[in-house]
Structures are given as C-alpha cells and as structure tokens.
Amino acid sequence: MKFSQYDISAEIKNNLQRLGFKKPTDIQYKSIPSIMQGEDVLAVAQTGTGKTAAFAIPVIDRIHSSKSSRRSNGIKCLVLVPTRELAAQIGEVFNKLAKYTRVKSFALFGGVEQDAQIQKLQNGIDVLIATPGRLFDLVHQKALELRNIDTLILDEADRMLDLGFIDDIKSIKQILRRRRHQTLFFSATINPEIKKLAYSQVKSNAVRIQISPNDPVSKNVVHFVMFVEMDDKRFFLERFIKENPQRKIIAFVRTRVRAERVAKAMARCGIESVTLHGDKEQSLRSEVMQSFKKSEEGLLIATDVSARGIDIPDVRFVVNYDLPEVAENYVHRVGRTGRGLNKGIAISFCSAEERQRLEEIQGLLDKNIEVIKISKKGYSLTIDPTVETSPLQKLIDEAEILPRKKTKKKIKKPKKKGK
C-alpha cells in the first residue's frame, strides 16, 4: 500500500511525495490506522524505522481536518521526549510533514532563553514537542496550558520512564483526567519493568505493536568488536579514520571529559572533529548538530546524549570507543547508522575492563559480535607498506558488500523461427 492510497489530506500526501516517502515502513503501516481510529498504542520498533512519521502523519491529518483556519484553539497534541536534540529533530519532522496544512508545531526545550518561546506559544500552537523540564517550568509560570490536549505521545518512552519521568507523566495525565485523550508510546527498546509502567498509563485495550522484537538492531547494520587496551584506543581510532577518509563517523565515549580528551588526541594527529555532550551550551549543541548533519564527512565525538533517536544522514560508521554502561544504549548508538534502506557498520573497541559489558550487549542482541582479530604486528600499528589494504580495512570493505536477496533467474525463451 502506498501513501497515496491512505485516507489523509492531499497536503500531507504532497509533502510525503516531496520528501521521497512513497510506501510506509512496517511500523508506519501497523501504527497509522490504529492511531487514526483514536486507539491507544504501545509500539516497539528498531531505531531508524520511521517511528516519528508513524505518529506525526495521523496527528497532523486529524488536526488539519478539524480546523477551519490556521488559528490555534490551544495545544491539541503533546509529544514528550528525553533530550533537547530529539525535541528539535521531531519538531523538524512535524514542520516538514505539516507544510501547507493548518497545523502549527513547536519544539520546546531548556538551555535557551524562554521569552521567545513564551511568545511563540502565545501566538498559538497545535502540536508541542517538549522536554519535561522546560515544559513544567512554563506550566508553573502559567505560561502554558495543557487542558485542551487530546493526544499525548511519549517518544523514546523507555528512556522517559527510566529517567524517572513517570511522575511528570502522571501529572500530565491528571491534568487530562476529565478529557478523553489518546496515549501513544513509541520506543526502540523496552524491558519488562518499563513495559509494566507503560501499560499502566494506557487503556487496557491499547494496541500493542512490536516490529522484530527479537532483533532490536536493524539488519542493515553489521557489527564488529576489537579487543584493545584502554590506552591504545586513540591509536586505533586514528588509524580507522585515516583508512576511511571522506566518511561520516560518530564515535561514542563514556563521559563529557573523555569526549574532549579524545578530540584533542585526534587534533594532535591532524584529524578534525566536533564534540557533543551535556556540558555544552544548547546553542553550541544545536550548531554542532546542524553542521554535522549538513557535512558529507567528518568525525563527531559524542556521549549518549546523541544516541537516542537522532537522525543524521549518511553516517556510515558508528564507533563505540567506549562500550556503554547500559546494554540498551548500544542499540540506540548503532542505530545512528544503517537507517532506512542504508547500510551501516558498527565497530566496538573493547578493553579488558569492558568484557562484562560486551557479554551484556551480546545477550541483548542474542548473538555474538564478530571479532576482528589483530596480530601483534597490527597491534603495534606497524602496517606493512607493501600491503595496500590493512587487515582491518579488508574486513570493513567486505562488510560493506552485504548479501542481497536471492532472485530467481529469468529463463530466456527461445526465439521462434520465422515461417
């Protein structure tokens, strides 16, 4: 089924066509009809499979169809997200899908002056995408009214609940208790404890959707691990980047301090990079993100602040410079590559201290990650000058040629001889 066949407004169909979206992904195909019917939905799908559009399309269509002008009658949909970057990104998606419609959306988050945000809200908003901190700041200042909301969406729901935002969610539900509303939960991963919390916040007959629940990572991503000493990681990152010029790479590290140290180490060997972490002012974080999105190559060194839901085009490699402390974060990190129909490669540098984390990640994936064996010669970085491609690069090149689906060969029929 194509988007052109959906019972949605012509403006949204034109926007989808302009953005190159012809057919819905699995999560969109299974979610959109239920959302359009007003049902509560709890959906779990791999990162990079189009979850944002899965809820944005029906929400925009519903609001657009019910309005007679662009004048807002109050916020109708609230999308709660755990990070500022994700709020900004989802805001962009809503703006693109709502172009030429009567729907006005706005992303609200902290780290920036609130006066301009308050003015924007006073001008009228239909869809608000927000982080809880700034949202409740403005609610307490009585600069924001939530009572007209009829759709509440939690994106990256497991992270929202895991961070302790359950009380904030309950507070919003309390405000909406006298109004019939729809609740949508979307996430890439969800454990039994968080699932129990999520179920407590939706109707008992909520639609439950799981796409590839046994494989939380897209099949477009190939995984490798290298066993290296902690102090040698910077040498391997340098080598990897120099062997992959003109590529867009994200390297994830454990802490904010470590991100800056790795960036300085790369600078000493002539490799330019940008960093993204919670210590940066929001204006700088936004600038870094926009710049890296527009670039065709380069290195972004980030903490897990960028691991959730961020859609950066053409990221070929994700390097887990440090393995994440929480196994689920591995899924979100490597989900920055192999998005949509693109192929991606994830490389993890695992030190002796991180072996337990690797086992937890492999347990989550329910499979062993292929090991890139490093000879002593390779480990000392004395690459044989007579060999054009190093053993590491050879494995990477082979991984990029992923197996395609087998197709039946067409049998050519013999041409009929003329009479």
User: What's the pLDDT tens digit per position in 214-226?
Assistant: 667 778 889 999 8
Mean pLDDT over residues 306-332, rounded? 86
DSSP strands (E only) in 115-197: 127-130, 151-155, 182-187
- Listed in sequence order, the residues at least 6 apart from 240 whose beta carbon sits closer than 8 Å to its beta carbon are 249, 317, 319, 347, 392
17-58 pLDDT, tens digit each: 999 899 999 999 999 999 999 999 999 887 778 899 999 999
Q: What is the C-alpha radius of gyration for the chain, rounded to an integer number of angstroms?
A: 24
- Please report which residue ranges of 163-222 form alpha helices under DSSP H: 166-175, 192-199
- Indicate the angle between helix axes 51-66 and 26-36, nearest 10 degrees: 30
Paired tokens of 153: 């969406």
- pLDDT, residue 375, reads 61
Q: How far is CA 88 from CA 4, 83, 157, 292, 301, in A?
A: 28, 9, 17, 15, 20
pLDDT of 62 above 80: yes
Domains delineated in the chain: 3-210 (3.40.50.300), 221-400 (3.40.50.300)
Q: Which of 364, 311, 290, 366 is nearest to 49 (CA)?
A: 311
**What pLDDT is attached to residue 309?**
63
**Do 348 and 358 touch, CB atoms closer than 8 A?**
yes
* Tens of pLDDT, residues 254-304: 999 999 999 999 999 999 999 988 888 878 888 888 889 888 889 999 998
The one-letter code for the residue type at 220 is N
Pure H helices in 49-83: 51-66
> Residue 214's pLDDT is what?
61
pLDDT at 166 over 70: yes
Token pair, residue 387, equals 């060999």
Q: Is the dihedral of CA 18, 24, 28, 31 positive or negative?
A: positive
Query: 82: which residues sit within 8 A by CB, 6+ positions away?
Result: 131, 156, 159, 160, 163, 165, 308
pLDDT-derived band of residue 213, with 50, 70 and 90 as boundaries?
low
Q: What is the rounded CA–CA span in Å between residue 121 and residue 115? A: 10
Question: pTM above the 0.75 mark?
Answer: no
Q: In what order do the strands lie in the sheet with 317-320?
A: 274-276, 298-302, 248-252, 317-320, 344-350, 221-227, 370-371
Within 176-309, where are the H helices?
Answer: 192-199, 233-243, 256-268, 282-294
Q: Which stretch of DSSP H or E encloses residue 395? A: helix 391-400
Please name the residue that has the structure tokens 């064996």: 373
Tokens 């046994």: give the residue: 214
**Would you state the pLDDT for residue 178?**
61
CA pair distance 81, 247, nearest whole angstrom:
30
pLDDT-derived band at 332 (thresholds 50, 70, 90) equals: confident
Please report the pLDDT score of residue 348 as a whole number: 95
CA gap 191, 155 in Å, rounded? 15
Residue-wise pLDDT for 121-138, tens only, equals: 999 999 999 999 899 999
Among 123-132, 133-142, 167-176, 393-402, whose mean pLDDT is lowest? 393-402
pLDDT of residue 357: 95
Query: In what order do the strands lie in the sheet containing 41-44?
Result: 105-108, 127-130, 77-80, 151-155, 182-187, 41-44, 207-210
